[in-house]
Amino acid sequence: DTAVSQTPKYLVTQMGNDKSIKCEQNLGHDTMYWYKQDSKKFLKIMFSYNNKELIINETVPNRFSPKSPDKAHLNLHINSLELGDSAVYFCASSQGPPYPGLQYFGPGTRLTVL
Partner 1 sequence: GQQLNQSPQSMFIQEGEDVSMNCTSSSIFNTWLWYKQDPGEGPVLLIALYKAGELTSNGRLTAQFGITRKDSFLNISASIPSDVGIYFCAGQRMNRDDKIIFGKGTRLHILP
The number of beta carbons lying within 10 Å of the beta carbon of residue 51 is 12
Member of 55, 61, 63, 82 binding partner 1 (CB under 8 A): 55
Please check whether residue 79 is in contact with residue 18, taking contact to mean a CB–CB distance below 8 angstroms: yes
| Spatial separation of the C-alpha atoms in residues 98 and 114, rounded to whole Å | 41
- 12 near partner 1 (CB under 8 A): no
Pick the piece of the chain touching partner 1 (CB under 8 A) from 15-23, 60-68, 71-79, 102-110: 102-110
- 68 near partner 1 (CB under 8 A): no
Between 45 and 72, whose beta carbon lies closer to partner 1? 45
| Spatial separation of the C-alpha atoms in residues 46 and 54, rounded to whole Å | 11
Could you tell me the smallest distance in angstroms from the CB atom of residue 68 to partner 1? 16
Please check whether residue 91 is in contact with residue 3, taking contact to mean a CB–CB distance below 8 angstroms: no
Amino acid (one-letter) located at 59: T
Contact positions toward partner 1, by CB under 8 A? 4, 31, 40-45, 48, 50, 55-56, 90, 92, 94, 96-97, 99-108
